[in-house]
């Protein structure tokens, strides 16, 4: 009996030794980006890439947009528009706009929150029918800290997890359309097996005749609030 108890005790100790150590706590990864300078954002780890058909220009920082949007806060905002492609959108209605703003690398975990403010012209634009839809995606890469997004306008690279898709059907008015006043959007990271390194990306994505569906958007006050934030 004593021998059996001793063996069970030794087995229990052995199992305890084999148990995996709990993961180290993730340090607070939070930050806020006001986009007062494109160069400053790049220094802080932001990457800007334009994979649109006949790519031209891309995201810029300005004190106001071409349509007169002023910043939500501070003196500058982040903006992009239909000129992300230099192609003739009347001759090539199949052209797609895919313009990326990729955030700095972070250790990402469930419960992290991403928020930003954005707006467009919506139903007061200047299209042939007096309006444009516009669209913006928020995507997550938890494979690695790469900013790889592929090579073409439909590619997403490692940013395979969608977090938000603002106006995916290019509505010009009514529920679900792109807001024409500064509006806050927020997403929460869920479904990860464990904390992992990665990046978040904003993607100005206009397909289905990019010229008819895209005009101009602005983004301001981007915030990443870590679940570890006190």
Q: Does 172 fall in a domain?
A: yes
If we measure between CA atoms, which residue out of 229, 214, 222, 189 comes closest to residue 73? Answer: 222
Judged by average pLDDT, the poorest of 23-27, 184-188, 190-194 is: 23-27
Confidence of residue 100 (pLDDT cuts 50, 70, 90): very high
Domain that holds residue 164: 29-225
If we measure between CA atoms, which residue out of 170, 157, 152, 154 comes closest to residue 201? Answer: 157
Q: Does 68 fall in a domain?
A: yes
Q: Which residue has the higher pLDDT, 8 or 21?
A: 21
- Tally of structural domains, the chain: 1
Report the CATH number at residue 122: 2.60.120.200
Q: Which residue has the higher pLDDT, 127 or 59?
A: 59
Position 6 pLDDT exceeds 70: no
Q: Does 71 fall in a domain?
A: yes
What's the CA gap between 32 and 72, in Å, rounded?
14
Query: What is the pLDDT, as a whole number, of residue 122?
Result: 62
If we measure between CA atoms, which residue out of 40, 179, 64, 58 comes closest to residue 117? Answer: 179
Q: Does 1 fall in a domain?
A: no
Q: Does 21 fall in a domain?
A: no
Q: Does 7 fall in a domain?
A: no
Q: Does 133 fall in a domain?
A: yes
Q: 37-79 pLDDT, tens per residue?
A: 999 999 999 999 999 999 998 999 999 888 788 999 999 999 9
Query: What is the pLDDT, as a whole number, of residue 24?
Result: 66
Confidence of residue 1 (pLDDT cuts 50, 70, 90): very low
What's the CA gap between 58 and 210, in Å, rounded?
15
Position 9 pLDDT exceeds 50: no
In this structure, the number of other CB atoms found within 10 A of the CB of residue 22 comes to: 6
Q: Does 6 fall in a domain?
A: no
Average pLDDT over every residue of 95-115: 96
Query: What is the pLDDT, as a whole number, of residue 172?
Result: 81
């Amino acid at each position: 009996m004593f021998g059996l108890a001793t063996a069970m005790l030794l087995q229990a100790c052995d199992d305890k030794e084999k148990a995996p150590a709990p993961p180290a706590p993730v340090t607070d990864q939070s930050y806020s980006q006001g986009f007062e300078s494109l160069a400053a954002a790049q220094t802080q780890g932001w990457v800007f890439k334009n994979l649109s058909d006949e790519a031209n220009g891309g995201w810029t920082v300005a004190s106001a947009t071409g349509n007169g949007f002023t910043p939500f806060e501070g003196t500058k905002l982040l903006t992009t528009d239909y000129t992300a492609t230099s192609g003739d959108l009347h001759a090539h209605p199949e052209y797609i706009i895919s313009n990326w703003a990729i955030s700095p690398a972070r250790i990402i975990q469930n419960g992290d929150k991403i928020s930003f403010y954005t707006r467009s012209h919506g139903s007061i634009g200047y299209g042939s029918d007096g309006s444009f839809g516009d669209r913006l995606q928020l995507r997550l890469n938890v494979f690695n800290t790469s900013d790889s997004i592929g090579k073409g306008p439909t590619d997403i690279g490692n940013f395979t997890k969608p977090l938000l898709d603002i106006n995916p059907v290019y509505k010009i008015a009514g529920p679900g359309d792109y807001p024409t006043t500064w509006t806050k959007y927020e997403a929460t990271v869920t479904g990860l097996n464990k904390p992992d390194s990665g990046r978040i990306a904003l993607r100005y994505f206009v397909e289905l005749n990019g010229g008819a569906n895209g005009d101009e958007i602005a983004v301001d006050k981007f915030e990443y609030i870590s679940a570890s934030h006190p």
